[in-house]
A and B are shown apart, each in its own frame.
Chain A
């Protein structure tokens, strides 16, 4: 197997949160979810991969311009003995600083197949507006 092929067969690794960022008081492992953030004229859409998170286990919090995602994941059933492991079980956490242009009241969150879709609409006055020039 060449070096390149080996790389291709790599399993996608979860990134664990560094403790220095803010030491958690609970003993849980937390991971940083992969996200896509797309901006268009209407607002910003954030997609986050949160496998194993139930809709009720997700917490979206906006405070002082910081959007914080916290998600809980159920622990493994005790009688299940791990025989082969590639991923760790733990919650997810990630924060983003929001621009003032986001209408916090209208933020919408949806979970589907372990993917969170968060719609963050822009405040009306910040939406681009075409002005017709009359001759």
Chain B
């Protein structure tokens, strides 16, 4: 009986499925606590010499709900992501997307000119162009020979 059980090639598939179900169950528990915790969008910062480019993944967020501010070398992003709950009588097969409020402050490597900051939201990516301030601009110095 035991050998037959293990001889069944589908048993591993069944195990895998069971494991997936368990993982999903745990992640559901996880997302329950995350519902309170809110979202925290990941941010990447790039430098092209002239300015910094901050990109944040904010899928499904209305640009109206995003608030940005810059002081010196600190960029603050705050907003909220609303996820419409399903109507009465619907049932969830998966629920992995999270909503909620967030507020993040990121320190940039150098000061930026707050008056020239520009932000665009395309396809769920928020791109903020932060030109360096005059003082923190890269200056090439020529070495003279005597």
**CB-based contact B92/A86 at 8 Å:** no
**CB-based contact B40/A50 at 8 Å:** no
Majority SS at the chain A contact face: loop
Q: Name A52's contact: one of B37, B57, B62, B91 (CB within 8 Å).
A: B57
**CB-based contact B125/A52 at 8 Å:** yes
* Given A52-B123, A54-B123, A114-B60, A9 contacting B48 (CB threshold 8 A): no
Q: Which of A27-55 contact B (CB under 8 A)?
A: 34-41, 44, 47, 49-54
The residue on A at minimum CB distance from B57 is A51
**Bound-complex Cα distance A10 to B44 (A):** 15
Report chain A residues within 8 Å CB of B14: none
The residue on A at minimum CB distance from B94 is A37
Interface size on B, residues (CB 8 A): 39
Report chain B residues within 8 Å CB of A123: none
**CB-based contact A12/B41 at 8 Å:** yes
Shortest beta-carbon distance, A45 to chain B, in Å?
A: 8
Q: Which of A60-68, A77-85, A100-108 contacts B (4 or more CB under 8 A)?
A: A77-85
**Bound-complex Cα distance A7 to B57 (A):** 20
Q: Name B96's contact: one of A34, A85, A86, A115 (CB within 8 Å).
A: A34
Q: Name B95's contact: one of A9, A36, A49 (CB within 8 Å).
A: A36
Say whether B7 faces chain A, with CB atoms less than 8 Å apart.
no
The residue on A at minimum CB distance from B38 is A8
**CB-based contact B98/A115 at 8 Å:** no
Say whether B72 faces chain A, with CB atoms less than 8 Å apart.
no
* Given A51-B123, A113-B123, A80 contacting B97 (CB threshold 8 A): no
The chain B residues found within 8 Å of chain A, CB to CB, are 37, 39-49, 52-53, 57-62, 83, 86-87, 89-98, 106, 109, 121, 123-125
The chain A residues found within 8 Å of chain B, CB to CB, are 7-14, 34-41, 44, 47, 49-54, 76-77, 79-87, 89, 111-115
Ordered by A's residue number, 29 sampled pairs between the chains whose C-beta atoms are within 8 Å are A11-B41, A13-B42, A34-B97, A35-B97, A37-B92, A38-B86, A38-B90, A38-B92, A38-B93, A39-B93, A40-B89, A47-B97, A49-B60, A49-B124, A50-B59, A51-B123, A53-B123, A53-B124, A80-B48, A80-B53, A82-B45, A82-B47, A83-B52, A84-B45, A84-B109, A85-B44, A85-B45, A86-B43, A113-B59
